[in-house]
Amino acid sequence: MSDNAPTPQDDADRIRLKRLAKLQGAIASSSPASSSAAATPTASTSAIATPAATSTPVAGHSASIAAPHPVASPVVAPKPKPIPRPSVLAQTPPPAPRPASGLAAKKKAVPKLDLSAWEHETIGGILKVTLSREVAEKSGYDIVWLKNLAQELESEGVSNPRLNMDLLDRLLIARLELNPQSMTDDLEYLPVLVSLPPQQTVFEYLVGCWKRLNSAKSAVMKKGYAPADSLQALDQLEKIRQLVISYSGYTLQDPEMFPQP
């Protein structure tokens, strides 16, 4: 083998040199493009900045334009302040005068019981009887006129008698003896008999007396009489009650004792 024959080392160097030559050619071809690209932004930048430079006013022209005068604002007169009106205060009524602490309250007046007048009115109301013709006529004969008893008392020397507890028994008997079905020639007394309840029994009449007696008792309690007067009136009512109970028992034992319808 001759000495000029290529060795493997020579082949490797030759290949390396070829590669370097290719790289240098590629670098040389790309350098003009990069330089032109670098110059383009500069030109565009200067183009953009040009209008800003042209917008600057010329010194000569700006000096010739006069500055505008300030316009005076119109003077506004101040509004007058409203005068505050005094508020109307509600007038409160003056407090009522208080009684002096040392004065005691007046006591309510206690009604006085006229026992005689009370007996006359109460007995007539419970038994529904009278010794006066005028009283019977004013009541439409709802109050029964005991004419026969009035004549007996007059014959005894009692004129214008008042109804009282002493006459209570005689008053009740005279009323129970009246018969609404009896006939009479006394035209003066006829309205009395005609006005009697035709179908009322003696017992029914006594029951009515009992009810009216209880009403009279309640009236005494409500009147507010003095304790002594109230006790006296209640005692008289108790006597009437005992008499009504007694005659009710007699009637039940002997219904024929008095006239019945």
Q: Is the pTM of this model over 0.75?
A: no
Please give the residue range of the domain that contains residue 219.
115-253
Residue 35 included in any domain = no
Residue 45 included in any domain = no
Residue 68 included in any domain = no
Torsion angles phi and psi, residue 176, rounded to 5: -70, -25
Residue 234 included in any domain = yes
Q: What is the pLDDT along the chain (261 residues), one digit of tens a residue?
A: 445 566 667 777 777 777 777 777 766 665 544 444 444 444 444 433 444 444 444 444 444 444 455 555 555 566 666 676 655 555 666 666 665 554 455 667 888 999 999 999 999 999 999 999 999 999 999 999 999 999 999 999 887 889 999 999 999 999 999 988 887 888 888 999 999 998 999 999 999 999 999 999 999 999 989 999 999 999 999 999 999 999 999 999 999 999 988
How many structural domains does the chain have? 1
Distances in Å between the Cα of 124 and the Cα atoms of 99, 209, 230 are: 47, 10, 19
Distances in Å between the Cα of 227 and the Cα atoms of 107, 235, 249 are: 16, 12, 33
* Phi/psi-derived region of residue 132, left when phi > 0, alpha when psi is between -120 and 50, beta in every other case: beta
Contact (Cβ atoms closer than 8 angstroms) between residue 124 and residue 163? yes
- In three-state secondary structure terms, 138 is helix
Residue 185 included in any domain = yes
Q: State the residue for tokens 């006069």.
A: 66
197-218: per-residue pLDDT in tens? 989 999 999 999 999 999 999 9
Residues paired with 129 in a beta bridge: 144
Residue 92 included in any domain = no
Residue 3 included in any domain = no
- From the number of C-beta atoms within 10 Å of its C-beta (0-12, 13-18, 19+), residue 157 rates as exposed
Q: So what's the pLDDT on residue 183? A: 79
Residue 37 included in any domain = no
50-87: per-residue pLDDT in tens? 444 444 444 444 444 444 555 555 555 666 666 766 55
